[in-house]
Amino acid sequence: MFRREFLKFSAAAGGISFASFGRSAWAVQNRAAGHERLVVVFLRGAVDGLNVVVPYSEQEYYELRPTIAIPRPAQNGGALDLDGRFGLHPALGSLMPAWKEKSLAFVHASGSPDESRSHFEAQANMETGTPGMHATQDGWMNRVLAALPGKHAPTEAVNFGKTTPRILEGIMPVASISTRGQYGGGKEMMSAPGLDAPTAALFDRLYAGSDPISVAYREGRAAQTQLASDLSRDMMEAANGAPSARGFPEDAAKLCQLMRRDPTIQLAFFGLSGWDTHVREGATEGQLANHLKPLGEGLAQLRSGLGDTYGHTVILVISEFGRTARENGNGGTDHGHGNAMWVMGGPVSGGKVYGQWPGLDEDNLHEQRDLAVTTDFRTVIAGVLTRHLKLDAPQIASVFPGAPAGAKVEVLRA
Amino acid sequence: MLDKTTALHLSNRLGFGPAPGDLARIADAGLDNYIQAQLHPQTASLPHNVTSMLRSLPSFGKDTGALYAEYWWRAQVPDPKALAPEEKKKLKRREKQVLREAQNARLARAIISPWQLHEALVEFWFNHFNVYEKKGADKIWVGAYEEEAIRPHTLGRFSDMLLATARHPAMLVYLDNAKNVAPAAAGKADEMNSDADPKKKKKKKESGINENYAREVMELHTLGVDGGYTQGDVISLAHILTGWTVGSGGEADAADAAKLYKRDKGSFHFARRKHDPAQETLLGRSFGGEDVNEGEQALLMLAAHPATAHHISYQLAQYFVADKPDGPLVEAMAKTFRTSGGDIRAVMGTMLTNPAFLASSNVGTKYKTPYRYVVSAARAAGIAPDNRTVAALSRALMDLGQPLYGCITPDGYACTQTAWLDPDGLLHRISFATELGNGAYSGYASNGDLDPPDPDRIAEAVGPALSKQTRAAIEATQRGSRAGAILGSPDFMRC
């Protein structure tokens, strides 16, 4: 609390010094709202958590997965040892520095209390934050946005993708950045191409109404103007050249630049697909490994590229459910239940696998097939929102109505 | 004689909006006549320029087996790895062309066909039974899937379409049923190979139950997620459908798969030895047997289930009437579905003659999907589809976030405002509209210049779609910007 008050005060007293950096009025006003950041990466399609945070000390793991298990550490292609019990998928070697400096943690056997094995339903559950309640329209990140204090800027939440995902849907405006463009020059970085002045004036007139379409237009224009100035400046300064890798690492680099530049950005969201490994999932190498590698590199990119801001950033990696403990007949895994959540960032009390491990005995598996859920995903996020974004109990209740109160898994330093 | 507002509504909802002259034609025909004509399309009768365009597409109209033999080079070349890079590039380009031709064939007909309701239903049903072009041989099969499993059934019997999609190679590959194999067969294979070298054993192990299609066919294609089935039913149906596969591949690495099934190359193949003949209970009814009939009976039961009637009716009403359709409308449609044995034409008839269809609260209230937006803009601008223009429109769809045949998830693209209205997408549409207004999607005039569409003709074509304020703002702007302004206006985002 003290820190937030202090920032408010310094911003009020020192507006001029911010202005001298050429920041817009949004930035000046919003700095006061605090600059703790939350990045959520949603792995759509259900990532196989048992091959990400590998329970290599369990014999059952190897019995259940004769062809796709990750070998024990020190074996050829083996897991990277985390704590003597669990190991990390070897394709995620880029994350070991973060683990060693204790800014990376996992919460194993976590997930939704709802048992749906439908991708769409389970994603909706995790994005609305109200599992089992179909009526909820808005997403929990949008409700977080609404709960944050201060004047709201059009770029306070940034979504990487073409359409607003459920998790960010709601009354608060959200800026979108297209992930399609090559990383090259300032202009093509912009999601929607900018309009020239007379055309913009014409459409500003056409979209002057108060209907939802006109409102969306104005939000888009405001975000476009703001992001264009953030990015074009950075592109000029990017003397080292932009990362050449495609996909997530590239987008993560974009986010680093935006966040370093623009203190109004507090929330960011990435949805990454391709985790629905029903067939030929692979083990040390293969389909899952090929997806994990750029994910790990992108997260490592956030750690190095955010600079000091990393100390004020929490990154959550979540997925709608886990996959069957047993491999199926196609060298893949089917829709399951419990999964591992990833938590990364400066404020994280890391180097630890959190959560109550239920084990992989047939008796302990959910419906004799899936890793059980022993930690409700909302309790982990609620803990982050409390310590990191300083939301109070009523605000948490507005973000996760109906969530179990009390028992939280604390993954951040006090 | 119908008023222009109702004519616009019919044009918008029974298709992709008016082309120049359409509103007058619909008004002349009258409400009932127009609806009846659209419910009985003569799909073979198309304008000459489209039939000649379709004929010019080398892969169009070929079945999956022929496409597989001609374009799926991985399975045809003896050693794909040994190919010279240049040669490989050529084969890949040729393969990719099949998808482009499918996209062109779809868009050209959506833009120009007088059977607009049929074309809208093609989009609806394709999304309902979605397959994705980037999965294995679906790259070359999405077009054939649409021609063989979707188009013949748009207004036919739902159960016919369900069976046609279930046994189509594109679906078998997309939702993995091609690899859904009886565990007993897998077990036998293991025993036989227990002494063999470990590499071989691993290969043989690639057989067993795969739940993917069994789950989605109940959740998405028939009963709906709240349709009352359990995880046990998913497993039962997966067992019932074991052995429904594709001859010689269609899998990600078809060269390898080609060794597995020699018969029915690139077509539906029932692998009797991979089928589980044991008794299974699905939704309380017992199924068993050694041939394809077991699976067909199970699918027919799902097609006839009351939950399916409701689920399909809701989705049709959501696509054609309102994002949140009225309960009584959906119930009336579901009743027709049940009593007619799933006759889609009858269900559509119930929907279109229900007062809810013309209720003013449902007129001009749907936010267009990118697909509907692009097709309606091309129609309003009177763009004559040729291979060059539709290929450009296809790229525009990608920019707007709805690449044709590119929906990765089996639920297909949504059709609601919630799914598509967002600031960034809207700005993309506006920049598309200004490009279209500048002539980027038109042909060339005789002097070689771009030939931009005539703004007055567009304004006339869309008639009452433009509000008074929008018309005033457009008239106040210079002529060169007007076409883009009409097509980029908030009025044209809705239908």
Q: pLDDT tens digits, chain A, 414 residues: what are they? A: 222 222 222 222 222 222 222 223 333 333 334 589 999 999 988 999 999 999 999 999 999 999 999 999 999 999 999 999 999 999 999 999 999 999 999 999 999 999 888 888 899 999 999 998 888 889 999 999 999 987 778 789 998 876 788 999 988 888 887 664 322 222 233 345 566 777 888 999 999 998 999 999 988 888 777 766 665 444 333 322 222 234 788 889 889 988 888 888 999 999 888 788 888 899 999 889 989 999 999 999 999 999 999 999 999 999 999 999 999 877 889 889 999 999 999 999 999 999 999 999 988 999 889 999 999 999 999 999 999 999 999 999 999 998 887 667 899 998
CB contact under 8 A, A203 and B488: yes
Chain B residues close to A132, C-beta within 8 Å: none
Cβ-Cβ contacts under 8 Å between A and B: the total is: 147
In the predicted structure, residue B251 carries a pLDDT above the cut 60: no
For CA atoms A44, A49, A51, A52, give the dihedral sign.
positive
Distance, CA of B402 to CA of B420 (rounded, Å): 10
Residues of B in contact with A332 (CB under 8 A): 210
Core vs surface per residue A311-331: b (16+ CB within 10 A) or e: ebbbbbbbbbbbbbbbbbbbb
Q: Assess contact for B26 and B34: CB atoms under 8 A.
A: yes
Nearest chain A residue to B412 by CA distance is: A120
Three-state secondary-structure class, residue B285: strand
Q: Which of B188, B235, B427 has the highest number of chain A CBs within 10 A, making it the mutation to test binding with A? A: B427
Q: Is A100 exposed, middle or buried (0-12, 13-18, 19+ CB in 10 A)?
A: exposed
Within B218-292, residue ranges assigned H as helices are 231-240, 254-257
Helix, coil or strand: residue B310: helix
Task: For residue A27, give Cα distances in angstroms to A236, B246, B318, B490.
Answer: 21, 59, 42, 31
Largest separation between any pair of C-alpha atoms in chain A: 69
**Nearest-neighbour CA in chain B from A180: distance (Å):** 8
Check if A356 contacts B (Cβ < 8 Å). no
Question: Is A329 in Cβ contact with B207 (below 8 Å)?
Answer: yes
Q: pLDDT digit string (tens) for B149-189?
A: 999 999 999 999 999 999 999 999 999 999 999 987 654 44
Q: Comparing C-alpha atoms, which of A138, A251, A163 is closest to residue B407?
A: A163
- Kindly report the pTM of this predicted structure: 0.70
pLDDT digits (tens, 9 = 90+) for B88-107: 889 998 999 999 999 999 99
Please list the alpha-helical segments (H only) found in B245-326: 254-257, 293-303, 306-320
Tokens of A394: 């009523």
Judged by phi (left if over 0) then psi (alpha if -120 to 50, else beta), residue A196 lies in beta
| Partner B, chain A 270-329, Cβ-Cβ below 8 Å | 273, 278-280, 328-329
Task: Tally Cβ neighbours within 10 Å of residue A49.
Answer: 26
What residues of B are in contact with residue A169 (Cβ under 8 Å)?
Answer: 418
Structure token pair of residue B242: 């074991």
Scanning every residue of chain A, which has its alpha carbon at the shortest distance from the alpha carbon of B486?
A206
Set of chain A residues whose Cβ sits within 8 Å of the Cβ of B440: none
CB-CB neighbors (< 8 A) of A198 in chain B: 481
Q: Do B470 and A206 touch (CB under 8 A)?
A: yes
> Is B231 close to A367, i.e. CB distance below 8 A?
yes
CB A230 within 8 A of CB A261: yes
Mutation test of the interface with chain B: which of A334, A335, A337, A367, choosing the one with the most B Cβ atoms within 10 A?
A: A334
Handedness of CA B4, B6, B9, B11 (dihedral sign): negative
ipTM: 0.86
| Start-to-end Cα distance in chain B | 22
Beta bridge partners of A342: A106, A317
SS3 category, B270: strand
| Structure-block tokens of residue A290 | 């090929």
| Chain B residues lying within 8 Å of A139, measured CB to CB | none
- B151/B38 Cα distance (integer angstroms): 15
Mean pLDDT calculated for residue range B127-133: 97
Average pLDDT over residues B245-254: 59
Find chain B residues with C-beta within 8 A of A331's C-beta: 202, 205-206
